[in-house]
């Protein structure tokens, strides 16, 4: 009997974790009148308590039809998110991989000091760097453009930290063997570093996608033109009368993040473990 207690406990915790997602999916099939009935005490200042049933009383596809067929702003913001997130991730891989490989495999003056600076920059929240970034972007005439979001994040240091751990874990004997075979630094990086560090690269991409797909403060600070806003700023614009559409938008916005997470789940777990190891 005792061996089933941990299973039951973990199952209950998993159910609690999944409960908000189940409530979100069920709410996406509720008509607006039903939502107002359940959430009137909170949203409309009514009396009593709000409630959220797992199964709608009158399920409907109307909110999905309204969002997908009658909301062009949603699709415009969706593609804005794609045009922002994809270049950021590509840039982080192109600039982060060489930096991580250099920190992991090369010895050069002030290496530890420079890597410590990388870590310090990684720990700084956006609120600390917001004003300097704003001033620099203003001088470069990048404010109110997608570049205001892309360029600062391309050189973000967290992907370097993640990939560095994987490159550092490559056995030195393998590196020496490639040197004995006549391979240079570039060939060693391509044939040894990339295959063995692939998990670190994927985990950095997954974490980056999950963060940048949902970012709110950066676009609000650097972009005033609403036609350039990403999808993460679509939901705050929806009024109470469109709450059913808002719930559907939340479900659809969750799908790409969920697919990316499932794609890189194993590598992400390995990346988290590697990031927690002491050097």
The pLDDT score that the predictor gives to residue 44 is 64
E strand or H helix that includes residue 170: none
Q: What is the model's pTM?
A: 0.84
- Rounded distance between C-alpha atoms, residue 37 and residue 124, angstroms: 44
The pLDDT score that the predictor gives to residue 279 is 47
The pLDDT score that the predictor gives to residue 91 is 94
The pLDDT score that the predictor gives to residue 278 is 45
Query: SS in 3 state form for 32-55?
Result: HHHHHHHHHHHHCCCCCCCCCCCC
Decide: 33 and 62 in contact? Cβ < 8 Å: no
Could you give the C-alpha distances from 103 to 61, 93, 97, 160, 209, in angstroms and in order? Answer: 53, 15, 10, 9, 24
Query: pLDDT averaged over consecutive 10-residue blocks of the chain (279 residues)?
Result: 77 82 84 78 67 80 86 88 94 91 86 84 83 90 91 89 85 81 80 84 89 90 89 72 80 89 77 53
């Amino acid at each position: 009997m005792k061996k089933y207690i941990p299973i039951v406990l973990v199952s209950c915790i998993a159910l609690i974790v999944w409960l908000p997602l189940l409530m979100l999916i069920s709410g996406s099939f509720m008509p607006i009148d039903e939502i107002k009935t359940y959430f009137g005490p909170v949203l409309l200042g009514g009396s009593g308590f709000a409630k959220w049933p797992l199964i709608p009383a009158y399920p409907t596809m109307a909110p999905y039809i309204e969002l997908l067929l009658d909301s062009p702003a949603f699709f415009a913001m969706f593609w804005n998110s794609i045009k922002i997130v994809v270049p950021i991730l590509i840039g982080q891989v192109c600039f982060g991989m060489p930096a991580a490989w250099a920190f992991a495999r090369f010895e050069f003056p002030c290496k530890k000091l420079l890597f410590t600076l990388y870590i310090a920059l990684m720990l700084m929240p956006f609120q600390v760097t917001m004003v300097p970034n704003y001033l620099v972007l203003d001088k470069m005439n990048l404010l109110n453009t997608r570049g205001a979001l892309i360029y600062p994040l391309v050189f973000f240091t967290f992907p370097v930290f993640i990939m560095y751990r994987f490159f550092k874990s490559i056995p030195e004997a393998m590196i020496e063997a490639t040197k004995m075979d006549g391979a240079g630094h570039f060939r060693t990086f391509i044939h040894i570093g990339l295959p063995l560090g692939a998990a670190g690269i994927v985990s950095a991409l997954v974490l980056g996608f999950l963060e940048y797909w949902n970012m709110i403060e950066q676009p609000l600070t650097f972009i005033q033109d609403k036609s350039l806003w990403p999808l993460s700023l679509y939901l705050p614009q929806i009024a109470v009368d469109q709450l059913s559409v808002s719930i559907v938008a939340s479900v659809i916005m969750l799908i790409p993040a969920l697919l990316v997470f499932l794609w890189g789940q194993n590598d992400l777990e390995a990346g988290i473990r590697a990031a927690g190891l002491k050097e």
